[in-house]
């Protein structure tokens, strides 16, 4: 009869081959700990590739994990220049792809493998007895079959990108939103790839972060070719100066430059801004959206919108961790503390 594996002899599961999952894999490989990495996409960094055309504002020196750097250096990798700012595609090609192909990582990655659930073997979340002594069971859906694998530990690096926040300020979803996927997009749109969708339309961008700024700058390029494109921007900030960031004195030069660019578009009326605007309701009639919200305790509405791009952030998906006792920060839903390596 085959001897059952001890808990310590089992590998560690990593969920997601984004920058964080691959860095975790590098640390595990460096320590000689066995692991398997499950990635839902066709390649490493599937989420990063979905916004590959966008240039990030952190220079290379902040984007490379130390363990990953050590592993890659061993195989003659040429580190990118520390001060350059990569696009998402360059982050993939120059760093995340070679890392995923490293001989100590590549054999242990499974692509097109989505983790459906993580539980403790044979016990649900209510059971205390023997809890720490039994393995984690990870159920994975690959192309045709769902399989279960046992692990001694699990690292969830599935990110947040696939779970965007909704339009309403209170964070809830409405039926108008869930049934309007033809005219509402979440995340970064490569406007240049789909100009017909946005040209000469009334387009609303929601959110105040850098994703929103990137969306607006892309729409502005379209507006230069198709001047009847109208760009509307709704956010919750009390003042616009909070959005502009540090300008020339920003700690990250590229981030400051984005703020400076967006300020000049607003100053020249290329973009109509509504802030603070807390959206309470979305209606859609004859294909046009109307948003109703409060601005300084007054109700106001914004009508005649053809297309909405929602850039109001994203949050983790805990649904596949339901049978575990997971702790997270009750406000931002991050881990409650950082691990000490
Ligand atoms: C436009 C843009 C610009 C940015 N610029 C910067 C910047 O300048 N500086 C900075 O520090 N950060 C920046 N960020 C943020 C940074 O990109 C993210 O913090 C980072 O990508 C997060 O990495 P991650 O590995 O946690 O998640 P992700 O990159 O989202 O990777 C998660 C991976 O998990 C996979 N996955 C998800 N669910 C499952 C599942 N159930 N089973 C299996 N696999 C799964 C996904 O397919 C994906 O490959 C930017 C983000 C965006 C969108």
> Poorest-confidence range of 33-37, 43-47, 90-94, 214-218?
214-218
2: confidence class by pLDDT, cuts 50, 70, 90: low
pLDDT value of position 260: 87
- The mean pLDDT of the chain is 93
- Whether 319 has a pLDDT exceeding 80, the answer reads yes
Total structural domains in the chain? 2
Same domain, 152 and 82: yes
pTM: 0.92
Which protein residue's CA is at the shortest distance from atom 11 of ligand 1? Answer: 58
Same domain, 16 and 153: yes
Same domain, 233 and 269: yes
159 within ligand 1 shell (Cβ under 6 A): yes
Q: How far away, in angstroms, is 204 Cα from ligand 1 center? A: 25
CATH code at 253? 3.50.50.60
Same domain, 127 and 22: yes
- What range defines the domain where residue 155 resides? 7-161+315-321
Sheet with 278-285, strands from edge to edge, namely 278-285, 288-295, 298-305
Q: Over the stretch 167-215, which tens digit does the pLDDT of each residue have? A: 999 999 999 999 999 999 999 888 999 999 999 999 999 999 889 999 9
Which protein residue's CA is at the shortest distance from atom 14 of ligand 1? Answer: 56
293 within ligand 1 shell (Cβ under 6 A): no
**Contact assessment for residue 200 and residue 194, using Cβ atoms and an 8 Å cutoff:** no
Domain assignment of residue 181, yes or no: yes
Q: How far is CA 156 from CA 24, 238, 261, in A?
A: 10, 35, 37
Which protein residue's CA is at the shortest distance from atom 37 of ligand 1? Answer: 158
Same domain, 153 and 19: yes
- Whether 258 has a pLDDT exceeding 90, the answer reads no
Q: How far away, in angstroms, is 160 Cα from ligand 1 center? A: 7
Q: Which atom of ligand 1 is nearest to the CA of 19?
A: 25
3: confidence class by pLDDT, cuts 50, 70, 90: low
- Whether 243 has a pLDDT exceeding 90, the answer reads no
Same domain, 52 and 125: yes
Domain assignment of residue 167, yes or no: no
118 within ligand 1 shell (Cβ under 6 A): no
Domain assignment of residue 330, yes or no: no
Distance, in Å, from the CA atom of 78 to the CA atom of 93, rounded to the nearest integer, reads 12
pLDDT value of position 4: 63
Same domain, 35 and 143: yes
């Amino acid at each position: 009869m085959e001897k059952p594996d001890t808990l310590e002899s089992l590998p560690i599961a990593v969920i997601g081959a984004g920058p964080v999952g691959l860095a975790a894999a590098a640390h595990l490989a460096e320590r000689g700990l066995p692991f398997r990495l499950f990635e839902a996409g066709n390649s490493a960094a599937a989420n990063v590739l979905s916004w590959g055309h966008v240039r990030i504002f952190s220079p290379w020196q902040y984007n490379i994990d130390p363990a990953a750097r050590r592993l890659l250096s061993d195989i003659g990798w040429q580190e990118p220049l520390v001060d350059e700012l990569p696009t998402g595609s360059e982050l993939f090609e120059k760093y995340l792809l070679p890392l995923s192909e490293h001989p100590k990582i590549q054999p242990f990655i499974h692509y097109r493998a989505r983790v459906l659930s993580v539980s403790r073997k044979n016990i649900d979340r209510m059971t205390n007895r023997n809890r720490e002594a039994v393995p984690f069971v990870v159920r994975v859906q690959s192309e045709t079959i769902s399989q279960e694998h046992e692990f001694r530990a699990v690292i969830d690096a599935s990110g947040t990108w696939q779970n965007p926040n909704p339009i309403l300020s209170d964070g809830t979803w409405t039926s108008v939103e869930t049934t309007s996927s033809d005219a509402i997009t979440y995340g970064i749109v490569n406007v240049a790839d789909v100009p017909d969708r946005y040209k000469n339309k009334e387009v609303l961008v929601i959110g105040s972060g850098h994703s929103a700024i990137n969306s607006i700058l892309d729409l502005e390029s379209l507006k230069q070719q198709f001047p009847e494109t109208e760009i509307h921007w709704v956010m919750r900030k009390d003042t616009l100066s909070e959005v502009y960031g540090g300008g020339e004195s920003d700690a990250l030069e590229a981030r400051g430059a984005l703020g400076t660019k967006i300020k000049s578009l607003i100053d020249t009326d290329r973009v109509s801004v509504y802030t603070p605007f807390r959206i309470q309701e979305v209606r859609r009639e004859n294909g046009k959206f109307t948003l109703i919200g409060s601005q300084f305790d007054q109700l106001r509405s914004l009508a005649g919108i053809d297309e909405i791009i929602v850039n109001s952030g994203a949050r983790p998906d805990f649904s596949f961790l339901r049978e575990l006792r997971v702790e997270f920060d009750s406000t931002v839903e991050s881990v409650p503390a950082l691990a000490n390596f």
